[in-house]
Amino acid sequence: MTDRVFLEGLKVETLIGVYDWEREIRQNLWLDLSLAYDCAPAAVDDDIHKALDYDALSRHIRSWAAEQAFELIETFGERLCQEIHRFAGITDIELRINKAGAVADCQAVGIRIRRTFP
């Protein structure tokens, strides 16, 4: 499948970090997602019900993130991919997580991962 749906710059708030002070405050992460999704059925019929509801997905991701507490963005990313698969049935997920302010004199740090599910 070559179709992909993307969400760029999705801001989520969560508890993330290894330092004590990080465990006491909620921090923002910015997510870029690229999701394998067959857009053809929706396009052929011009039917929203056959499309990926990226509004519902983004709301679900924000809600899910708000309930989480991880030390590592690597763990956050892994679990988020699993949650997206569970919620939307997406089997190929590319995720970029940006944690602004994590390193002095650096705009942002983060990870980029790709996960596939059977």
Domain ranges (residues) in the chain: 4-116
pLDDT tens-place string over residues 81-116: 999 999 999 999 999 999 987 778 888 899 999 999
Higher per-residue pLDDT: 51 or 107: 51
Residue 61 — φ and ψ, nearest 5°?
-60, -45
Architecture per CATH, domain 4-116, reads as 2-Layer Sandwich (3.30)
Reported as a pLDDT band with limits 50, 70 and 90, residue 65 is very high
Contacts of 104 (CB under 8 A, 6+ apart): none
For the whole model, what pTM was predicted? 0.93
- What mean pLDDT is predicted for residues 56-76? 98
Positions annotated as catalytic residues are 99
Determine the Cα–Cα distance for residues 64 and 33; give it in Å rounded to an integer.
Answer: 15
- What mean pLDDT is predicted for residues 24-47? 96
Higher per-residue pLDDT: 16 or 105: 16
Reported as a pLDDT band with limits 50, 70 and 90, residue 1 is low
**pLDDT at residue 77 greater than cutoff 80:** yes
DSSP conformational letter for 71:
S
**Residue of 99, 94, 96, 98 whose CA lies nearest to 117:** 94
Determine the Cα–Cα distance for residues 101 and 92; give it in Å rounded to an integer.
Answer: 29
Residues 94/112, Cβ–Cβ less than 8 Å: yes
